[in-house]
Amino acid sequence: MSEEIKEKSGIRMPSCDKLIVSSSPHIQSRSSVAGIMFKVIIALVPAMAASVYFFGFAALKLLVLTAFFCVAAEALWCMIAGKSVKTAIFDGSAVVSGLILAMNFSPATPWYVCLIGAFLAIWLGKQVFGGIGYNPFNPAIVARVALLIALPGLMTIWVPTTKMVETAQHGISQNEAYSRTFFSAADWRKLQDSVGKNASVDVVTCATPLSMVSEIPKNTDIGAKNVFSHIDNRTAWKNYFLGNVSGSLGETSTLAIIVGCFLLIIWKLINWRVPVFFVGTVFVFTGMINFFYPGITPSPVFHVLTGGLMLGAVFMATDMVTSPVTNRGSALFGVGCGLITSVIRIWGNYPEGVSFAILFMNALVPFIDKMFIRLPFGTPKKQGAGK
Amino acid sequence: MSRYPFNISTFRGGIHPENDGKKLSKDVSIRTAPLFEYYNIALQQNIGAAPKWVVNVGDTVKKGQKIAEADGFVSAPLHAPTSGVVEKIEKCPGGMGICVETLVLKSDMLDEACEFYPRIDWKECAVEDLKQRIADCGIVGMGGAAFPTSVKLSVPPDKKITDLIINGAECEPYLTADHRLMLECPEKVLIGASIMGRILGIENVHIGVEMNKVDAIETLIEHNKPYNIDIIGLDVRYPQGAEKQIIYAVTKRKVPAGGLPMDAGAVVQNVATAVAIAEAVIEGKPLFERITTVTGEAVKTPGNWRLRIGTPLVKVLELAEGIVEEPAKIILGGPMMGFAQKSLNGSIQKNSGGLVLLPPSKVTQYSSSPCIRCGRCLNACPMNINPSYLGTVIENEKFDLAMNNNVMDCIECGACAYICPAHRPLVQHIRRAKAEIRSRMASQKQSVNKK
């Protein structure tokens, strides 16, 4: 080792025996996949905090549990497949998938559903295709849709937020409660009963605004317009925007998700066109239907603020791996998601269509990318027109 | 005449390295290196045909004497950097990692100059004389490409040139040689630019300088009065100095895909080339020295040096007082497009703008992971091609697909590989595909010719 440093009249010269010789560029930016995933987690923090605020400890438990199960599922697959467990876990993608999947769960979801969901997301959604980067569909959405179809009973137990329970405890009238908390009459009675008996509110279920809309034909006692007037007004909008609404963890606060969206756009982690065109299309399309046939569907503001639209548009449709790489492709992708979501919400059998829409558009991404092949710098606009 | 500071021009795409390393040497004035005992002059220092030696082993030469003459049109002569004896001509490891024919000149330490070329009054003389002088003095593109300048200035009659762009962008991180040159020799830059403008017979001469060298822009403007050159501030963004990108930034004209700058009516020349031309014309001095930045965090005293062509890299590093830590990479040229050295056996060439020694902390060797389609390479690509897709198909050896997706338009700037968060060797894949496609096309041609 004494040879390594050649001393020549006090000048230290390199030994040159450990030089890296490679093709340029010789420097690289410090960004990494793990760094990107970490930033996505940071952007999820406002939405996660809102869910904990509105649903309490149950939400926190679900988030931690699902993320843990996802990491465990990833590790287990890598062990079986003989891949490096360390690199797979430390890229952070499993944690992100887990957190986003948890945001799709109702606070009343049992732990074993989280476990099944985690394996569906990581194994069926990602690893069978070859792991990170190769999955055609967003893993969290694969798990959500699979669970929704396989275990519909367990995936649609909705519970009131802690704020709603407080409202019920203060003993306000049913009519007032309607305008503030959007229960169906039966739910309201159940909630009041359980509050009266000091039972745990965890067991009380209630409908989400969207499920109420989809169940209108069954409610013979209240007509569509009557329901709309309760769930689609300024007070209700304010509650939806801030997050005081039943639903899955990520369906509560629109505000928190918008904060996350801004972070993602500022950090250049998502193409702003996807959420903007997605939400914009839903707004315009439902707005048109609402304008021409007001009895069919609530106002566009209601559609934008309720359900998983914001969560899906900001955190799931924008998944880098499963969304188009070009700007025009991203816009088309967003419009497609928005259209399918609106159609399912208005005429479909399911109350919510965001995850189906994203899943469907994910499948089209390779074609969208082909549609918008980029012309190299300097290509004439009408290529080969003269030939 | 100057668009600065009201109009900063740029191109679409590109990157800006978080640490451009320029502060290490940008305030260090150019110093002239002392005489060394040996100079190793590589024969081929230009794109095109290698010149032919006109001296033999044992010959005595003087500074500025021609030691190799151009062999063909696209070729450039070489001149002795100092006086001395030709000790040997042999194959030595060069800067590109392959052994190249090299002349070893043993200095007599007297530094006697031969008689240089006569001075020319560039404003009055014939244009052909100016072109001939540039060819005689062995001037090549000193920004890195080393294309013989006289050839670049000989535009075919069917092409109409309207703009000459002097490239002072120096977008490569760490390098500051052009910056110092514009600060310390603004007159020569402007004269060189005017000479080339006269050769091309055009009025629109621009000098584009990145906005991280505002002092250079102001110095040039200060001296610009008699020359009336358009001095333009360019956005600080790599690869601002790439030919097609700087043409677009300055003239808003696009070089057609697969075309040459002259197809967009523009000629681009580096500022160091402009200075060499000014010296060749007004001083009659052949190209045997250049300004090189010796820098990098591993170097003890980074700086800018006037080095003779053929100075061994070991001596160059000794000028910078050696190293402070063991370098992980030694790069001849800039860190984005230069050549990693496996030893210090090489020597300074006409196109060596920098010698950069990077410590291990700056050259992390990442292992690459699958593409997550984040799209950063697409945003960074100045040629608007899709490096992410190309990287994947080339990894699977699908060269036809790569060809159909415009792999040949890549200018190999390396912005994609720089920015990739999965650390994929994108530009390296693309280089491999380009070489593969070229060799396939060549063999196809051969088989067609045989039939």
B342-366 pLDDT, tens digit each = 888 889 999 899 999 999 988 877 7
B209, pLDDT greater than 70: yes
Which pLDDT value is given to residue A84? 87
Give the confidence band of B451 by pLDDT, cuts at 50, 70, 90: low
Nearest chain B residue to A330, by CA: B375
Say which residues have a Cβ less than 8 Å from residue A111's Cβ, sequence separation at least 6.
A65
B324, pLDDT greater than 70: yes
Residues of B in contact with A30 (CB under 8 A): 18
CA B354 – CA B291 distance, rounded (Å): 8
Phi, psi at residue B296, to the nearest 5°?
115, 150
Which pLDDT value is given to residue B19? 82
Which pLDDT value is given to residue A170? 64
B153, pLDDT greater than 70: yes
Residues of B in contact with A8 (CB under 8 A): 318, 322
Q: Give A125→chain B minimum CA distance, Å.
A: 15
Inter-chain contacts counted by CB atoms under 8 A, chains A and B = 190
- Determine the average pLDDT of the residues in B242-258: 92
Q: Are B344 and A269 within 8 A, CB to CB? A: no
Q: Give A261→chain B minimum CA distance, Å.
A: 16
What the block records as the tokens of A60 is: 């926190």
> Model confidence over B373-429: pLDDT tens digits?
999 999 999 999 999 999 999 999 999 999 999 999 999 999 999 999 999 999 999
The pTM is what? 0.88
B234, pLDDT greater than 90: yes
> Model confidence over B67-80: pLDDT tens digits?
999 988 899 999 99
- Hey, where are the domains in chain B? 8-27+118-282, 376-450
Which pLDDT value is given to residue A379? 82
CA B83 – CA B69 distance, rounded (Å): 18
Residues of B in contact with A12 (CB under 8 A): 300, 322-324
- Determine the average pLDDT of the residues in B196-216: 93
> Model confidence over B122-132: pLDDT tens digits?
888 899 999 99
Can you give the pLDDT of all 387 residues of chain A as single tens digits? Answer: 334 444 556 788 888 888 888 888 999 988 899 999 999 999 999 999 999 999 889 899 999 999 999 999 999 999 999 988 888 888 899 999 999 999 999 988 999 999 999 999 999 999 999 999 999 999 999 999 999 999 988 887 887 777 777 766 665 555 555 545 555 556 666 666 666 655 444 555 667 778 777 776 555 555 667 677 777 888 888 888 988 888 889 988 999 999 999 999 999 999 999 999 999 999 999 999 999 987 788 899 999 998 899 999 999 999 999 999 989 999 999 999 999 999 999 888 888 889 999 999 999 999 999 888 888 888 876 544 333
Which pLDDT value is given to residue A3? 41
Q: Which of B336, B384, B406 sits opposite A25 (nearest CB)?
A: B336
- Hey, where are the domains in chain A? 33-155, 159-245, 270-367
Q: Are A11 and B409 within 8 A, CB to CB? A: no
Which pLDDT value is given to residue B390? 94
Q: Which of A35, A271, A376 sits opposite B421 (nearest CB)?
A: A35
CA A244 – CA A54 distance, rounded (Å): 7
Q: Give A118→chain B minimum CA distance, Å.
A: 20
Q: Which of A12, A25, A269 sits opposite B335 (nearest CB)?
A: A25
Q: Are A27 and B418 within 8 A, CB to CB? A: yes
B103 within 8 A of B67, measured Cβ to Cβ: yes
Give, in words, the CATH class of B8-27+118-282.
Answer: alpha beta
E-state strands within B281-440 = 289-295, 303-308, 329-332, 339-341, 354-358
Which pLDDT value is given to residue A190? 64
B45 within 8 A of B146, measured Cβ to Cβ: yes
